[in-house]
Chains A and B, each alone.
Chain A
Amino acid sequence: MAISRRAFGIGLVAASAAATGGYVYLREHPEIAGRFGEAKRLFGFAGGEKEGFLANARVKNTLERRFGLVIDGRRAGSVEMVRERALLDQKPQFLWPSSSVLVEVARSSGVKISRDQVIFNSPIVLYSWDRIADGLVKGGIAQPAGGPRYTVDLSKLLKAIIAGENWSAIGVADLFGRARVVCTDPNKSNSGFMFAGLAASLLSGDVVMPETLSRIDGDVATVFRRMGFKPPSSGKLFDDYVAGGAGAQPLIVGYENQLVEWVLQDAERWKRLEANAPAKPVILYPQPTVFSAHPLISVERQADDLIEALTSESLLEMAWEDHGFRGPLGTIGKARNALLQSRLLERIDAVLPMPDAPVMLALLDRLAA
C-alpha cells in the first residue's frame, strides 16, 4: 500500500487545486460559505425602523449560519446616512435607507455604489388613537375602513393644519391647541422625507415638479414648523408615540410595519391594551400614500452578499412575519396574525410615486431654512 512519490505529488497538487477551487466557489456562494469557516462582518448604517429586524435572533442566526454574515448595523436617519460626512467618513460597507430616491442622493453625495436593490416595502401611514380617529371621522377628515382601521383624506388634514385650525374644529374635541401631525426630521430621516414629498404632491395636486414646487413649498414649511422638534429617526418617534400616549402624540407619521413589530414584540401587552387601555393605537392609511422601499446599497463589493441573503425567501418571510415588512413588490407574506388582521389593509392601491431627487433636495433645503 505504499504510495509512490509521484502519486503523492499528484495528490498534493490535486488537493491544493480542489482547495483553491473550493475557496473561490465558496466565496461566490455565501449561502454555502456560511456553513464553513469564519463569518464575514459587515458594518453599515440602517434606518431605525429596521433596527428590530437586524436585532432579531432568528434573522441574525440565519444570516450568520446560512450566509456567513454578521451585521454591525448602526441606527442612523435614512437621509443623513446618505448625506452627512460625519457618517460617511466612518466608511460604512453598506447603507440601508428607506427610499429609492435616496440611492440617487447617495450617488450625488459621492458614495461609490457597488449594487443596490429594494429589499422591503412599507406604506407611509398615520398613527393615532381610536378616539382621535373617531373624531377625525366626525370632522370629515378620516373614513372607517372596516374594523379599527381608517383611511384619511391627507390633503384635507394638511389644509386644516395650514389654516391653523384647532383640534376641536376638525372633530377632536378633547385635545388642546392647534391640530398637528408630527413626523421625523425630513433632513435626517426617511419617513419625514417621504411625508414631505407626499405633502408637496398633495398640495400641488399632482406629483410635484420643479416648476410647481415654489407655489406650495411655503405651505409644506408651515406644516413642518407646526411640528416643533422632529426626532431624527422613525423608530424613536414611534416609541414616543406608544410611550407618550394620546395626550403627547395624537397623530404621527410612520411606517405600517412599526405597529406590527410592536404588537409582535409582546403579544400579551397588546391583549392587555386592547382590553383595558383608555385609548388604543390605530392606523390611518392616507389616500393616496407613498411606498417606502428599503433599498440596500452595498458600498463595498463584500456587502453584495448581504443583498443576496436579504432577498432570500426565508428572510423575506421572517421580515413579514416578525416585523410587518411587505416584499419588494408591496405584497404581503404568507403568515397571518390574528392580533393584527383587522388593523391592516391587505391591498393598497392608491400609491403616488415620490418626486424626483432634485425636487426633493430643493424641498429639503426649504424645510431646513
Chain B
Amino acid sequence: MRIFGFLRRSLALLAVPLMAALLSGCGGPGPQFTILSGSENDILEPLVQEFCKSRNATCTMRYQGSLDIALALKAGDPGTDAVWPAASIWIDMFDTTRRVKMVKSIVRMPVILGVRRSKAQELGWIGAKVTAKDILGAVEGGKLKFLMTSATQSNSGAAAYLAMLAAGIGKPDLIEAGDLDKPEVLATARGLLKGVERSAGSSGWLADLYRDGERSGAHYQAIWNYEAVIKETNDKLIADNHEPLYAIYPADGVAVADSPLGFVDRGRGKEVESFFTDLQAFLLNGDTQGKIAKTGRRVEIGRATPLAADPKTNLDPSRPVTVIRPPEPAVIQKALLIYQEALRRPSLTALCLDVSGSMQGPGETQLLDAMRFLLTPARTREVLVQWTKSDEILVLPFSDHILWTARATGDENEQTGLLARALELRAGGGTDFYTCAAQALALMKPRLADGQHLPAIVIMTDGKSQGYMSTFESAWRADGHRVPVFGVTFGSEVDRGQLDNLAKLTGGRVFDGSKSLTDAFRAVRGYN
C-alpha cells in the first residue's frame, strides 16, 4: 500500500506540470508584444489576437494617429515592438535611425469621399464620374460640407488634403515643390477646406462621429475616409436603419494608404523577432488575406478575391483607381505647414482651465506647463498644431466661478500676452465647469454666425463639477448644437462621468491628461 501511495503522490506531482503544459498549448508562453497602430486597423485586431493566442503570447495594440506614430519613431524608441501606421511615408520620413525593419504592406486603402446617399442624389453624383473639381464646385456653392481628419495629425486627412491640392494644381498625377507657391492652387485648396464641418485626429473616431450624428440629429453630409472605413460605417448605418454613404472615387486621382507593418528592433532577441515575422506571415497568408478582403480592404494581387462591388453604396474594392503619387518629403512637409498656417478653416477655441483648490501642487505646475506648450509657437510648430493670426483663443480660468476671461488671436505677440496672464494663475476654491462652458459659449456666439471658424470648448479639470449640466445644455441647444466640448482629465482620482456626458451630448471627446497634459492638449488641437 505504501508503494501505491508513493506512486500516486509521484503521479500527482508529475500531473501538475503536465496539465499546465497541455493547458497552455504545445509550446511555452510566447512573448509580450505591443503594436503601435493606426485606428483604422482596430477591425483587424481579432486576427492579430487569434495569432497571439495560438502562440500563447500577450499582444497589445495601442492606437494612435499617424503623426503620433511618426513622432514616436523620431524620438528613437517608440516603446513598442512593431508599428502599423496607415501609410509608409510616416515611417520613411521619421524613422531616421532605421530602427524599423521588415516592413510589409498588409492592405491597401484608397482615401475616398463618402456622401450621404440622398445628398449624392441631389448633387447628381449617383453613377456619375465625379472629379475633385466637381467636389470643389459643390463646396463653393454651399451645397456640401464634410468631415475630414486633420491633415497634420492623421493620414486620411493628409491624403484627402493632398488629393485636393493636386486637383487644384490641375495635373493630379504629382505635386512638385513650385506648385505650392501658386496663389490659384492655394485658393482652390482653401475653397475645398471651407467644406470641413468637423475635424479629428483619428479616422476611426471621425467615422463614429458621423454615425453619432445620425442619432443626435447632427446629420452630417459627407466624410473623407478610407474606403474600408466607409464600408464599416455603412454596415453599421444599415444595421441601425440609417441612410448609407455613397462612395465617391474622385476620377482624377486618390491617395492610397498602404498600411505597412514593421518590426521595431529594440534588442529583445531572436524569439521576439521571429514572433514578429510569423505574425506578419500569418497576416499575409492566403487564408487571413481572404478574411481581411471581406472587410473591404484591398489585398495584394493574387492573394485573395476582393469584396464584390455594391451598386447601392458604389463601394468596389476591385475598382482600379488613378493613384496620386505621394510627393517628395520636403513637398509634403511644406504642404502640411501651409495647411496648418494658411489653408485650414481657422479655429475658435475656448479653454476652460480648472484652478480649483484640488489643483494645488503638481496639478498647478502641470497645467502651467501645458499652457507654456500651447502658447509657445516654437513648440506647437514642431508638432504642427500651431495657431495662426486667423485663429481665436479664449481663456477662462475657473474654480467655482470664472476668475477672468481673455481673448487673443494666434498672433505670436498676443499668445505671449495670454501666456503671461495664464502663468499668474494660482489654485484655490471649488469647481464648476458647467458655468465656464456656458460662459465660453456666450463669448463665442458673435463669431459663430459667419461660419468661418471651427469652434470648440476645451475643459481641463481634475474633478467633479458643482452645478448642473442644464446650465450649459440649454444654452447649447438654444445655439443650434454647433460647438463640441472636449475634456482633458487630470489627476488619478478624476471622475470622467460628467465630462463624458458633455462630450457625448456635443460630439466631442474626452482625453486622458494624467500621463501628460501637454500631449493631451496637443491631441485636442487635432480635433479643432
Chain A interface (Cβ < 8 Å from any Cβ of B): 45, 51, 55, 74-76, 80, 86-87, 90, 176-178, 180, 182, 225-232, 236, 239-240, 242-248, 266, 268-270, 272-273, 276-277
Complex: chain A residue closest to B303, CB-CB: A269
The answer to whether A228 and B98 touch across the interface, beta carbons within 8 angstroms, is no
If A227-B325, A229-B92, A269-B303 are given as contacts, then 19 extra A-B residue pairs at C-beta distance below 8 Å, sorted by A number, are A76-B98, A176-B173, A177-B172, A177-B173, A178-B174, A180-B173, A228-B175, A228-B326, A229-B328, A236-B88, A236-B103, A239-B103, A239-B105, A242-B301, A244-B258, A247-B320, A247-B322, A269-B302, A272-B302
A76 to B95 Cα, complex, angstroms: 11
The answer to whether B328 and A230 touch across the interface, beta carbons within 8 angstroms, is yes
A277 to B92 Cα, complex, angstroms: 30
Q: Does B213 contact A (CB under 8 A)?
A: no
The answer to whether A51 and B108 touch across the interface, beta carbons within 8 angstroms, is no
A-facing residues in B89-103 (Cβ within 8 Å): 89, 92, 96-98, 101-103
The answer to whether B327 and A229 touch across the interface, beta carbons within 8 angstroms, is yes
Chain A residues, Cβ within 8 Å of B102 = 51, 55, 75
Q: Does B321 contact A (CB under 8 A)?
A: yes
Chain B residues, Cβ within 8 Å of A90 = 97
The answer to whether B329 and A243 touch across the interface, beta carbons within 8 angstroms, is no
Chain B interface (Cβ < 8 Å from any Cβ of A): 88-89, 92, 96-98, 101-105, 108, 171-176, 252-253, 256, 258, 265, 277, 286, 300-303, 320-323, 325-329, 331-332
Is chain B's interface secondary structure helix, strand, loop, or mixed overall? loop
Q: Given that A178-B173, A243-B108, A243-B300 are contacting pairs, would A232 and B321 also be in contact in the complex, using a CB cutoff of 8 Å?
A: no
Complex: chain B residue closest to A179, CB-CB: B173
Q: Given that A240-B105, A242-B300 are contacting pairs, would A178 and B171 also be in contact in the complex, using a CB cutoff of 8 Å?
A: yes
Nearest-Cβ distance from residue B285 to partner chain A, whole angstroms: 9
Q: Given that A228-B326, A229-B326 are contacting pairs, would A270 and B302 also be in contact in the complex, using a CB cutoff of 8 Å?
A: yes
Complex: chain B residue closest to A41, CB-CB: B270
Chain A residues, Cβ within 8 Å of B320 = 245-247
The answer to whether B325 and A229 touch across the interface, beta carbons within 8 angstroms, is yes
The answer to whether B321 and A247 touch across the interface, beta carbons within 8 angstroms, is yes
Chain B residues, Cβ within 8 Å of A178 = 171, 173-174
Chain A residues, Cβ within 8 Å of B322 = 176-177, 247
16 examples of A-B residue contacts, CB within 8 angstroms: A75-B98, A75-B102, A75-B103, A86-B97, A87-B97, A226-B174, A227-B325, A228-B325, A229-B325, A236-B92, A244-B108, A244-B258, A266-B302, A268-B286, A273-B302, A276-B302
The answer to whether B323 and A248 touch across the interface, beta carbons within 8 angstroms, is yes
Find A240's partner among B174, B258, B328 (CB 8 Å cutoff): B258
A74 to B89 Cα, complex, angstroms: 19
A266 to B496 Cα, complex, angstroms: 51
Chain B residues, Cβ within 8 Å of A86 = 96-98
Nearest-Cβ distance from residue A17 to partner chain B, whole angstroms: 36
Find A245's partner among B175, B253, B301, B326 (CB 8 Å cutoff): B301
Chain A residues, Cβ within 8 Å of B105 = 239-240, 243
Chain A residues, Cβ within 8 Å of B173 = 176-178, 180
A-B complex: 7 closest residue pairs judged by Cβ atoms: A177-B173, A273-B302, A228-B325, A229-B326, A248-B323, A269-B302, A75-B101
The answer to whether B303 and A228 touch across the interface, beta carbons within 8 angstroms, is no
Most buried by B among A178, A180, A244: A244
Chain B residues, Cβ within 8 Å of A76 = 98
Chain B residues, Cβ within 8 Å of A182 = 325
A261 to B174 Cα, complex, angstroms: 31
Complex: chain B residue closest to A164, CB-CB: B171
Complex: chain B residue closest to A76, CB-CB: B98
Chain A residues, Cβ within 8 Å of B103 = 75, 236, 239
Chain B residues, Cβ within 8 Å of A266 = 302
Complex: chain B residue closest to A86, CB-CB: B97
The answer to whether B258 and A74 touch across the interface, beta carbons within 8 angstroms, is no
Complex: chain A residue closest to B107, CB-CB: A243
The answer to whether A239 and B104 touch across the interface, beta carbons within 8 angstroms, is yes
A226 to B101 Cα, complex, angstroms: 28
Most buried by B among A74, A246, A270: A74
Nearest-Cβ distance from residue A13 to partner chain B, whole angstroms: 40
A112 to B329 Cα, complex, angstroms: 32
Q: Given that A86-B96, A228-B326 are contacting pairs, would A269 and B256 also be in contact in the complex, using a CB cutoff of 8 Å?
A: no
Complex: chain A residue closest to B95, CB-CB: A232
Most buried by B among A45, A239, A248: A248
